[in-house]
């Protein structure tokens, strides 16, 4: 890559990881995720780990042309309140990111040149990339970075989801960045001091609601006037219909700073074909689009059949079919308060069957603990309760729930419905009474955390502790399990303060064991994501977290 990583010291933990990796104690993905999160560039990590760098076709990419992407086009809103990745697709050619998260689990500096983390993950030194300018001519400096991070930290803005990611920089009372948390040291250096060890800060900055905006940014202004560091401008953004990004003439810093450069295409059209995949297929067959946002379900085979290229990536996206421990029946008794009932539900279900029937075997079987092989701190020695329908029925009888009819609810869609059906069928096979209720998408989310027994899909997150903190910690807003366990909370807080991944894995193993033993949820599989693109398109690969990276796309000659 460039010279930016030559003078930097290698973090001592990174050297240790390299040793462990070479001894075979750590997977390639884990190694990359951990070392790059410590501030190492991906290429340095490859060198340190003695890995061959992945071949990049980008160097030979042809410049020019238009690519048409099938994707929903949603109304723009304040970037930090983005709640759909599709919104970021429209702006990502203009508003760029500090850090990029990649499919191999690594973090690559973009508008930063790099960063350093101290040993207990409480102090982050961000090096701002030099020579980058905004498309109005202003220079991009440390002030811009500090201002954006301050903006993200502000939790008083309604719907600002970045605030949760930056919470360790915030003052709990004012909801704003704490005094001294964000310091501009010089024109190209920003130092962040967190109030507690925070391993998720860097991954948080790579997420889709974190585009870097100019000081003049106004969420209500016309998108064509957007000031950003990227080479594209939004020339059209018609909600539900079409958005168009075009080269604005502003040179891209990445052509010099990144190997192989980027933004090969002159124009990206994002065309909305609604929510029905059949319409996407019709568009592909009519040669009206070149790239899909995502290919789902049976349509993957159809797209293979018509000769498009398939790209897939295993992720941490998943589904949970969970009882809510606080749910009550008509007599006010807690239906799932008894651990045996929950364990019985989990034991009656073979996760591989759910994967096969619910998601056509497109993924990996999981172990009911919502942490998996894509997460660096996953402990693979902890496994699920054995699949044993007879034991399940016995437990159910012991708990006095043999005659109870469980109501299992799901949203009305393809894979979520099918997976939930597969669970219901297996419960019935085990002798447990189940009634299925399917709710339309428009009403399902109104009460999604409160259903007694229902399924919910969860997106991928880079670190294992992240979902646990969002959904399993006692009393958090998205705790749909009604799960409250002091030991779990204490261990989770401990895990979150360990920068060293191996040490964290020991704690994670205990966390996984608690979730499994308490029968908190059935979490049958990890989904793979798929994206198809026309045969003449290069580089439009599926992304593990759906992040927009059209700068890698090009048309082949």
Site of interaction with other proteins (CB under 8 A): 75-76, 81, 83, 158-159, 220-221, 238-241, 271, 273-274, 279, 281-283, 285-286, 288, 305-306, 442, 445-446, 477-478
Comparison of 222 and 487: residue with beta carbon closer to other proteins: 222
Comparison of 35 and 317: residue with beta carbon closer to other proteins: 317
Which residue(s) pair with 365 in the sheet?
525
Comparison of 51 and 235: residue with beta carbon closer to other proteins: 235
User: Closest Cα partner for 315 from 338, 345, 294?
Assistant: 294
Comparison of 95 and 271: residue with beta carbon closer to other proteins: 271
Comparison of 271 and 345: residue with beta carbon closer to other proteins: 271
Q: How far is the CB of 209 from other proteins (least distance, A)?
A: 12
Q: Hey, CA dihedral for 204, 209, 210, 216, is it positive or negative?
A: negative
Residues in the chain: 557
Comparison of 183 and 236: residue with beta carbon closer to other proteins: 236
Q: Which long-range contacts (CB under 8 A, 24 or more apart) does 481-487 make?
A: 481/320, 481/322, 481/323, 481/324, 481/325, 481/520, 481/521, 482/324, 482/325, 482/326, 482/327, 482/336, 483/325, 483/518, 483/520, 484/325, 485/514, 485/518, 487/514
Q: How far is the CB of 446 from other proteins (least distance, A)?
A: 7
DSSP tag of 524: -
Q: How far is the CB of 157 from other proteins (least distance, A)?
A: 12
Comparison of 65 and 260: residue with beta carbon closer to other proteins: 65
Contact between 363 and 508 (Cβ < 8 Å): no
Q: How far is the CB of 78 from other proteins (least distance, A)?
A: 12
Q: How far is the CB of 460 from other proteins (least distance, A)?
A: 18
Helix (H) or strand (E) holding 304: helix 299-305
Contact between 209 and 459 (Cβ < 8 Å): no
Q: How far is the CB of 411 from other proteins (least distance, A)?
A: 12
Q: How far is the CB of 241 from other proteins (least distance, A)?
A: 5
Comparison of 119 and 301: residue with beta carbon closer to other proteins: 301
Tokens describing residue 230: 């990227």
For every residue of 57-115, DSSP letters joined together read GGGGPPP--EEEEE--------GGG--SHHHHHHHTTTS--SEEE-TTS-EEESSEEEE
Beta strand 242-247 with 267-271 is: antiparallel
C-alpha to C-alpha distance for 186 and 147, rounded to whole angstroms: 14
Q: How far is the CB of 159 from other proteins (least distance, A)?
A: 5
Position of tokens 């709990």? 172
């Amino acid at each position: 890559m460039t010279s930016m990583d030559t003078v930097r010291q290698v973090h001592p933990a990174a050297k240790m990881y390299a040793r462990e990796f070479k001894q075979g104690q750590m997977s390639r993905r884990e190694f990359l995720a951990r070392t790059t999160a410590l501030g190492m560039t991906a290429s340095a990590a490859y060198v340190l780990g003695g890995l061959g760098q992945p071949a990049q076709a980008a160097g030979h990419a042809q410049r020019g042309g238009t690519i048409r992407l099938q994707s929903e086009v949603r109304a723009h809103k304040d970037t930090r309140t983005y709640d759909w990745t599709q919104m970021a697709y429209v702006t990502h050619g203009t508003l760029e990111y500090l850090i990029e998260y990649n499919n191999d689990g690594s973090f690559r500096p973009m508008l930063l040149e790099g960063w350093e983390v101290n040993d207990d993950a409480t102090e982050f030194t961000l090096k701002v990339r030099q020579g980058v300018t905004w498309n109005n001519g202003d220079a991009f400096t440390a002030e811009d970075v500090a201002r954006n991070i301050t903006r993200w930290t502000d939790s008083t803005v309604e719907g600002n989801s970045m605030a949760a990611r930056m919470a360790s920089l915030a003052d709990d009372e004012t909801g704003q960045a704490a005094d001294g948390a964000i310091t501009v040291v010089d024109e190209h250096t920003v130092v962040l001091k967190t109030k507690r060890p925070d391993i998720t800060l860097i991954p948080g900055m790579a997420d889709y609601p974190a585009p870097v905006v100019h000081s003049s940014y106004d969420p209500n202004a016309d998108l064509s006037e957007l000031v950003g560091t990227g080479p594209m401008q939004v020339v059209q953004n018609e909600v539900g219909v079409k958005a168009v990004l075009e080269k604005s003439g502003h040179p891209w810093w990445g052509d010099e700073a990144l190997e192989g450069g980027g933004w090969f295409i002159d124009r990206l059209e994002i065309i909305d074909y609604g929510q029905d995949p059949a319409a996407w297929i019709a568009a592909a067959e009519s040669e009206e689009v070149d790239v899909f946002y995502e290919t789902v379900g049976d349509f993957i085979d159809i797209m293979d059949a018509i000769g498009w290229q398939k790209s897939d990536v295993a992720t941490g996206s998943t589904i949970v079919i969970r009882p809510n421990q606080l749910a009550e029946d008509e007599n006010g008794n807690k239906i799932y308060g008894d651990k045996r009932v929950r364990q019985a539900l989990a034991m009656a279900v073979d996760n591989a069957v759910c994967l096969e029937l619910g998601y056509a075997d497109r993924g990996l079987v999981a172990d009911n603990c919502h942490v998996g092989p894509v997460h660096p701190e996953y402990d693979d020695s902890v496994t699920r309760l054995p699949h044993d329908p007879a034991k399940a029925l016995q437990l159910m009888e012991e708990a006095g729930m043999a005659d109870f009819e469980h109501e299992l609810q799901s949203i009305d869609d393809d894979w979520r419905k099918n997976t939930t059906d597969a669970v219901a069928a297996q419960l019935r096979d085990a002798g447990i009474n189940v009634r299925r209720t399917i709710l339309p998408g428009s009403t399902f989310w109104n009460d999604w955390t409160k259903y007694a027994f229902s399924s919910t899909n969860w997106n991928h997150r880079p670190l294992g502790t992240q979902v646990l903190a969002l959904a399993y910690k006692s009393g958090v807003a998205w705790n749909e399990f009604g799960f409250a366990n002091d030991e779990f909370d204490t261990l989770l807080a401990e895990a979150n303060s360990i920068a060293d991944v191996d040490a964290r894995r020991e704690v994670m193993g205990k966390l996984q064991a608690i979730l499994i033993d308490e029968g908190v949820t059935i979490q049958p599989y990890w989904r793979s994501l798929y994206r198809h693109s026309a045969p003449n398109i290069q580089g439009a690969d599926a992304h593990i977290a759906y992040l927009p990276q059209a700068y890698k796309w090009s048309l082949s000659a």
